[in-house]
Amino acid sequence: MNDKLKDLSQYQIEALALKGLETEADNKRYSLYHITQDLIAELEDNKEEILEHEYPQDLVSEYVDSNISVYTYEQIMIFANNNDLWHRTDEFGADDINQQIVGAIYSYLAEQADAWLFEQEQAKEEA
């Protein structure tokens, strides 16, 4: 590897490093694990508001919805990079593949958020 690098200019090395960072950022942006972690962190940050809300499930659903990219390309990339989504059944009566992709992402994130809400409500009852 070092033999290959010695023949490159500083600019070429920096360009390769930047490309590596962009790839890493893309992998994180399209990773269902990271999207879920971001959602759970947002729920944790707003836990008090959610648990005190008259309809906490509705509020959690809004957080789930806001964590799904509005850009079709990003939705497709999330779907393509996460095989956990590939075999989900359409729960929303989607008319086209784009809606099916969003539905799969939404249902996965909603399951994770619902589990978080259930745990929080259980902990609140026990306290």
Residues 6+ apart with CB under 8 A from 118: none
Residues listed for the chain: 127
**CA pair distance 41, 92, nearest whole angstrom:** 27
- Spatial distance between the Cα atoms of 105 and 77, rounded to a whole number of angstroms: 11
Residues of the chain with pLDDT under 50: 21
pLDDT of residue 4: 64
Tell if the pTM clears 0.85, that is, is over it: no
pLDDT at residue 112, as a whole number:
97
Q: Note the pLDDT tens digit of each residue in 111-126.
A: 999 999 999 999 988 8
